[in-house]
Amino acid sequence: MLFANVLVAALAFAPSAPVSRRSAVAVSSVHMAVAAKDVKALREKTGAGMMDCKAALVDTDGDMEAASELLRQKGLAAAGKRADKATKEGIIETYIHTGGRLGVMVEVNCETDFVAKRPEFSDLAKMVAMQLAASPTVEFVSEADIPDDVKEAERKIEMGSEDLDGKPEEIKQKMVEGRINKIMKTKCLLNQPYIKDPSQTMEDVLKSTIATLGENINIARFARMELGSE
């Protein structure tokens, strides 16, 4: 009788073993689906940490674009939280274009000397200098830096455009303001498409680096010099 009870119990539990093995394989395959090369590629694309990239790929079922967007959104949120932090450390970076006819000097600030010495911070400063070299229309870091008199001067020019003659004043004002906004964007560094990835703006790149390094970062000032120009 005892043997029969043992046999019945053994048979009752027998099917569970293959199920457990299948479950283990399934769980293992989920983890294996996030390949190291994909994590590396996402890190190179976004600049985010390895664990953040892996988590983003898991959350998006391995979709590289969706993972990149998820990290971008997280980066924007993180950057927003640090926007008011003082930035008194940093570096001054230079870039001289091939031939020595064009040069840029830029000051990029952060919160601590520790971050100022990080290679990611140095890479950002170098990239900003190269971006400025490739952006001849840029005069300011952000739209908040543009003086009112600069906007007013552009407004007067646009108001005198021949194609606006005869239009109602209200329509004319709206068209002029739309044109001014476009012109101002061409003058601001943070509005420019990133030269290495035009799908991102320089503001996106800056905020991504803030999220990666965990400190507020500010592009303080720059100078762009071209041989023979005034």
Q: Tell me the average pLDDT across 126-135.
A: 97
DSSP 215: S
Ranked by mean pLDDT, the top range of 35-49, 106-120, 172-186 is: 106-120
How far is 140 from 107, CA to CA, in rounded Å? 13
Residue 204 has pLDDT above 70, yes or no: yes
pLDDT at 197: 94
Contact (Cβ atoms closer than 8 angstroms) between residue 205 and residue 212: no
Q: Using CB atoms within 10 A of its CB, is residue 44 exposed (0-12), middle (13-18) or buried (19+)?
A: exposed
For 229, list phi and psi in degrees, rounded to 5.
-95, 155
Q: Tell me the average pLDDT across 54-58.
A: 88
pLDDT at 14: 46
pLDDT at 113: 92
pLDDT at 189: 97
> pLDDT averaged over the chain?
82
pTM above 0.75, yes or no: no
Residue with structure tokens 């476009």? 182
Residue 80 has pLDDT above 70, yes or no: no
**pLDDT, tens digit, 9 for 90 and up, residues 2-31:** 444 444 444 444 444 444 444 444 444 444
**pLDDT, tens digit, 9 for 90 and up, residues 137-168:** 999 999 999 999 999 999 888 888 888 888 88
Q: How far apart are the first and last CA of the chain?
A: 105
Residue 103 has pLDDT above 90, yes or no: yes
Determine the Cα angle at 14 with ends 11 and 16, to 5°.
Answer: 140
Top pLDDT among 46 and 58 is at 58
pLDDT grade for 82, boundaries at 50, 70 and 90: low
pLDDT grade for 78, boundaries at 50, 70 and 90: low
| 26's tokens | 């399934």
For 109, list phi and psi in degrees, rounded to 5.
-110, 155
